[in-house]
Structure formats: C-alpha cells, structure tokens
C-alpha cells in the first residue's frame, strides 16, 4: 500500500498511525505509551501519569483523551479504551 507521508517524521501533533485495545492493569505500564486514548464505550478511566499521579476521568463513547497515559488502572476503570500511537 502506498504511503505518501512515509518520508516525513511523525510529530506528536500528527494523527496516530497505530491503535490497540487497552487492557487496564494495576501493576503494569502501557507499552508503548500512547499519544492519546479513545473511549469506545462510556465509563470511568483511572489514568496514571509519568510521575505516578492517578486521576479518574468520566468518559463518553467517542471521546478522545489527548494524554500520554503511562498506566490505566484496572481498579476503578469501567470504560472500554483504545490506545492511539
């Protein structure tokens, strides 16, 4: 498949080029760290940042959380999430 942009560096504000389902886990970080998280089904996402700070986000289906989450906690997370890279 042709990719007209293959010769360009992908910056942080460029659209994502890969995606994967997020499996919330209380003990393990996301690998690799995504550039954003897409909410596929309503619920709460408990997100941990690079400093270890943990906050809950109430998300609706279709919402994009433009945040480079390091971990999504299983405890307290009910949303269905997709990582964009």
Q: Is residue 8 part of a domain?
A: no
**Based on the structure, what is the number of domains in the chain?**
1
Q: Is residue 75 part of a domain?
A: yes
d(Cα 40, Cα 75) in Å, to the nearest integer? 18
Q: Is residue 27 part of a domain?
A: yes
Task: Please write the tens of the pLDDT for every residue from 55-68.
Answer: 999 999 999 999 99
Structure token pair of residue 79: 């949303």
pTM, 2 dp: 0.88
Q: What is the pLDDT of residue 80?
A: 99
From start to end of 33-73, where are the E strands? 36-41, 43-48, 54-59, 64-65, 71-72
The range of the structural domain enclosing residue 71 comes to 23-84
Q: What is the pLDDT of residue 27?
A: 98
- CA dihedral (24, 28, 34, 36) in degrees, to 10, reads 40
Q: What is the pLDDT of residue 44?
A: 99
User: pLDDT band at residue 1, thresholds of 50, 70 and 90?
Assistant: confident
Q: Is residue 78 part of a domain?
A: yes
In Å, the largest CA–CA distance within the chain is: 42
Q: Is residue 13 part of a domain?
A: no
């Amino acid at each position: 498949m042709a990719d007209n942009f293959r010769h360009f560096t992908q910056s942080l504000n460029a659209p994502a080029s890969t995606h994967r389902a997020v499996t919330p886990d209380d003990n393990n970080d996301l690998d690799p760290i995504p550039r954003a998280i897409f909410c596929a089904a309503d619920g709460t996402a408990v997100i941990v940042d690079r400093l270890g700070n943990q906050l809950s986000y109430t998300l609706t289906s279709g919402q994009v959380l433009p945040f480079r989450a390091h971990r999504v906690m299983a405890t307290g997370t009910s949303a269905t999430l997709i990582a964009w890279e």
